[in-house]
Amino acid sequence: MMVSLAIWLPILAGFLLLGFGRSLGSLAKSAASILMLGVLGVSVGLLAKFDSAAKGFQFSEKVDWIRSLGTSYSLGLDGISIWMFVLTAFLGLVAVLVSKPKERAGQFFGQILVLSGVLLGVFAALDLVLFYIFFELSLVPVAMLILGWGRGDRKRAATRYLAMLFGGSLLMLLAIIAVGVQYSAVTRTASMSIVDIQSVVASGKLWAGKEQLENLAFWGFLLAFLIKSPAVPGHSWLASTYESAPVGATIAGVVLKVGTYGLFRFCLPLFPHAAAANASFVTFLGVLGILYGGILAINQKNIFRVMVFSTISHVGFILIGLFSFSHVGMVGAAFQQFNHGLASAAVFVLLSFLMERGFTGEFSELGGLKRTMPVFASLFMIAMLANLGLPLTSGFVGEILAMMGSFESGYANVLGLNVGYAVAAGAGAILSASYMLYAYQRMFYGEAKSGESKDLNLNEMLIGGVFAAAIMVGGILPTFILQRMDQSVAVTGSAVKPNSGTTWAEGGGEIDASRIYAASSQGEFK
Partner 1 sequence: MGLLAVLPIAIAFVIGAMITKSLDPSQAVVLSSIPWIEVKGLSVPFELRIDTLSMTMVLIITGIGALIHLYATGYMSEEKDYSRFFAYLNLFIAAMLVLVLGNNLLMLFIGWEGVGLCSYLLIGFWYEDITNAKAANKAFIVNRIGDWGLTLGLLLIATLIATSPAVQGETRLFSYDVIFAYLPKILVMNPGVATAAALLLFVGACGKSAQFPLYLWLPDAMAGPTPVSALIHAATMVTSGVVLMNRMSLVFESSAVASAVVCAVGAFTALFAAIIAFGQTDIKKVLAYSTVSQLGLMFVACGAGAYWVGIFHVTTHAFFKALLFLGSGAVIHAMAHEQDMRNYGKLAKYLPITFGTMMIGYLSISGIPFFSGFYSKEEVLGSALAGDFATVGAFEVGKLSGWICLVVPALTAMYMTRMMWLTFFGGVEQWRKIEPNHVDDHDHHHLDAEHKPHEVPFSMYFPLIVLAVLSAAGGWYLSQGGRFEHWLLASQVGPKIAPPTHPEGIPLMALSVGAAVLGILAGVAVYIKGLPAKEGWDESKWSKFRLRARDQFGYDRLMVNSVTVDSASLSTSVNTGFDHAVIEGMGEGAGNVTSWLGGIFNSVQTGLVRMYASIMLIGVVVLLLWVVVSAGGGR
- Residues 235-294 interacting with partner 1 (rule: CB under 8 A): 235-237, 239-240, 292
Site for partner 1 in 411-430 (CB under 8 A): 411-412, 422-423, 426-427, 429-430
Binding mask 311-330 for partner 1 (x = CB under 8 A): ----------------xx--
Site for partner 1 in 168-187 (CB under 8 A): 170, 173-174, 177, 180-181, 184-185
Using the rule CB under 8 A, is 147 a contact of partner 1?
A: yes
Site for partner 1 in 482-501 (CB under 8 A): 482-483, 485-486, 489-490
Residue of the chain from 22, 49, 156, 454 that contacts partner 1 (CB under 8 A): 156
- Residue 37 or 433: which CB sits closer to partner 1? 433
Which stretch in 100-108, 117-125, 218-226, 233-241 sits in contact with partner 1 by CB under 8 A? 233-241
Query: Which of 488, 400, 386 has the alpha carbon at shortest distance from 85?
Result: 488
- Residue 331 or 349: which CB sits closer to partner 1? 331
Q: How far is the CB of 110 from partner 1 (least distance, A)?
A: 17
Q: How far is the CB of 447 from partner 1 (least distance, A)?
A: 6
Q: How far is the CB of 486 from partner 1 (least distance, A)?
A: 5
Using the rule CB under 8 A, is 148 a contact of partner 1?
A: no
- Residue 206 or 485: which CB sits closer to partner 1? 485
SS3 of 229-263:
CCCCCCCHHHHHHHHHCCHHHHHHHHCCCHHHHHH
Using the rule CB under 8 A, is 466 a contact of partner 1?
A: no
Site for partner 1 in 331-360 (CB under 8 A): 331
Query: Which of 297, 471, 253, 499 has the alpha carbon at shortest distance from 382?
Result: 471
Instruction: Yes or no: say if 129 and 69 are a contact pair by the CB < 8 Å rule.
Output: yes
Query: CB burial class (10 A; 0-12, 13-18, 19+) of residue 376?
Result: buried
Which stretch in 51-59, 92-100, 150-158, 215-223 sits in contact with partner 1 by CB under 8 A? 150-158
Instruction: Yes or no: say if 422 and 291 are a contact pair by the CB < 8 Å rule.
Output: no
Query: CB burial class (10 A; 0-12, 13-18, 19+) of residue 261?
Result: buried
Number of residues that bind partner 1 (CB under 8 A): 89
Which stretch in 50-58, 254-262, 336-344, 408-416 sits in contact with partner 1 by CB under 8 A? 408-416
Ramachandran sector of residue 451 (left: φ over 0; alpha: ψ -120 to 50; beta: rest): left
Residue of the chain from 27, 34, 163, 469 that contacts partner 1 (CB under 8 A): 163
Which stretch in 22-30, 39-47, 154-162, 343-351 sits in contact with partner 1 by CB under 8 A? 154-162
Phi/psi for 138 (5° steps) reads: -65, -20
Residue of the chain from 59, 408, 414, 508 that contacts partner 1 (CB under 8 A): 408
Separation of alpha carbons 282 and 289, rounded Å = 10
Phi/psi for 153 (5° steps) reads: -80, 80
Q: Which amino acid is at 161?
A: Y
Using the rule CB under 8 A, is 67 a contact of partner 1?
A: no
Using the rule CB under 8 A, is 140 a contact of partner 1?
A: yes
Residue of the chain from 516, 521, 522, 525 that contacts partner 1 (CB under 8 A): 516
Instruction: Yes or no: say if 467 and 380 are a contact pair by the CB < 8 Å rule.
Output: no
Dihedral of the alpha carbons of 65, 198, 516, 123, in degrees to the nearest 10? 0
Separation of alpha carbons 111 and 98, rounded Å = 15
Residue of the chain from 62, 151, 210, 371 that contacts partner 1 (CB under 8 A): 371
DSSP string over 460-526: HHHHHHHHHHHHHHHHH-THHHHHHHHHHHHHHHHHHSTT----SSTT-SPP---SS--GGGGGGG-
Q: Which helix (DSSP H) or strand (DSSP E) does residue 62 occupy? A: strand 58-66
Separation of alpha carbons 250 and 344, rounded Å = 10
- Residue 16 or 423: which CB sits closer to partner 1? 423
Question: b/e for 174-192, b at 16 or more Cβ within 10 A?
Answer: ebbebbbebbeebbeebbb
Q: How far is the CB of 402 from partner 1 (least distance, A)?
A: 11
Binding mask 380-399 for partner 1 (x = CB under 8 A): -----x----xxx----x--
